[in-house]
Structure 1
Amino acid sequence: MSDPVLSLVDVSLSLKGNAGMVDILHGITLDVAKGETLGLVGPSGSGKSSLLMVMGGLEQATSGTVTALGEDLTARNEDGLARFRKHNMGVVFQSFHLIPTMTALENVATPLELAGVADAFDRAEAELAAVGLADRTGHYPSQMSGGEQQRVALARASAPRPKILLADEPTGNLDETNGQAIIDLLFDLRDRHGATLIMVTHANDLAARCDRVVRLRDGRIDTALKAAE
């Protein structure tokens, strides 16, 4: 694979727990190609979400290197990582993490304003329309269903036109119907913006739509395989 969008070399992660340091990831080496859709799967506690957080610079690797778009993330401090994410990455969590005192439009527009985008509210409105919420822009999170809140979160993540889109169990808090709609929207956002999509999932139907699936077990890559056509 030439010039991967994301490259991890011998990455390990240890975090402090109640009983001392806990080893989460062990020697992960992995490349992700531009435009690829990669699924991270495995049993609970296998390190999937931790690996995604390391990829996004939301957790600093204890050892090894993480390179994204040619930039060494392991050499950056927290402010530098935040700046990099602001311009290059979108993140969607299982919990929606919307600001409850802001409308849907404000939730999507605020990161754009912080990034200095001149037409922040126009772009936010367009992204909300793209996820089917053109008539919900003035609603607050408490006035929306879980599926609608996740759509707002998707719009917020995609509005800055990220080159890399990370999703951590994006359908985990949704029923089957809303979950399927979010899956379709994720792949639509990937296609519209040409982003590389990396997601953690327990859903077999979502993993099956990925170009490649990487299976983790006990903080290590268990198998890497191409998803079924």
Structure 2
Amino acid sequence: MSDSVLALKDVTLRLMGNAGPVEILHGITMDVRRGETLGLVGPSGSGKSSLLMIMGGLERATGGTVHALGQDLTAMDEDGLARFRRDHMGVVFQSFHLIPTMTALENVATPLELAGDPDAFDKARAELETMGLGERLDHYPSQMSGGEQQRVALARAAAPRPEILLADEPTGNLDGQTGQAIVDLLFGLRDRHGATLVLVTHAPALAERCDRVLRLRDGRAETGNLRAAE
């Protein structure tokens, strides 16, 4: 489709385990449209996070093709994938992945600096202030709550204004009220910047806010599961 931002065709993933090869994903074919919010749901071990990592070029598919913004991720080397993520994607993990020896401001500014942005620290400061962290700019991750750390991670992902935002259980380590605040910020990023959002979640309330939901089971997309959220 012409407005497709992510296009997967017959994607498979096979990893080696102690007892031999393990089939993680089986022939996933799907498209994600520009500006859309897609929720990936399913039981633990169904392949949700693996599929998200393949979309972000963080895991290589064993078979099939993955296109993002018209570029073939399966044909890129590791350097090419890293540059593509830097220029076009933001990724948010459940466990935050902040650099512990850097302040909130430095954590958010770093990817902008790596991209050669001369206004890296000004943009990082503005994004953190948008996240309600204007008083925490000089604090280290160990000095912040889980919710504050996740907001720093969101600011880091959003500051470069990526076309694609990927989130893996962004509320998984947070209490209900804090998690809801993170959800509101995620969808606010989509609304403000027009990013295409793909997220993995176990939370029904979060899945219901998505435009569409893809349910996985045993590494397969369930029949008829790509639907409008009700």
Report what 1:227 is aligned to: 229
Cα distance in 2 for partners of 1:213, 1:51 equals 14
Report what 1:83 is aligned to: 83
Cα distance in 1 for partners of 2:3, 2:128 equals 33
Report what 2:150 is aligned to: 150
Deviations 1:187-224 (A, max 9, x none): 01111111000000000110000000000000010122
Report what 1:207 is aligned to: 207
Aligned pairs for 1:11-90 (under 5 A) are 11-90=11-90
Cα distance in 2 for partners of 1:3, 1:186 equals 22
Report what 2:196 is aligned to: 196
Moved over 2 A (4+): none
Q: Which amino acid aligns with 1:218?
A: D
Report what 1:159 is aligned to: 159
Deviations 1:138-174 (A, max 9, x none): 0000000000000000000001100000000000000
The residue matched to 2:153 in structure 1 has which SS? helix
Deviation at 1:20, TM superposition (A): 1.9
For the pair 1:116 / 2:108, whether they are aligned, the reply is no
Report what 2:182 is aligned to: 182
Q: Which amino acid aligns with 1:224?
A: L
Cα distance in 2 for partners of 1:192, 1:136 equals 23
Deviations 1:56-113 (A, max 9, x none): 0000110100000000000001111000000000000000100010000000001100
Q: Give structure 2 stretches of 5+ with no counterpart.
A: none
CA RMSD of aligned residues (A): 0.6
Q: With structure 1 as the length reference, what TM-score do the two structures score? A: 0.98
Cα distance in 2 for partners of 1:136, 1:39 equals 31
Report what 1:7 is aligned to: 7
Query: How many residues matched?
Result: 228
Deviation at 1:2, TM superposition (A): 2.7
Q: Which amino acid aligns with 2:33?
A: A
Deviations 1:28-81 (A, max 9, x none): 000000000000000000000000000000001101000000000000011110
Cα distance in 1 for partners of 2:58, 2:48 equals 14
Deviation at 1:22, TM superposition (A): 0.9
The residue matched to 1:86 in structure 2 has which SS? helix
Cα distance in 2 for partners of 1:122, 1:49 equals 33
The residue matched to 1:32 in structure 2 has which SS? strand
Cα distance in 2 for partners of 1:190, 1:132 equals 17
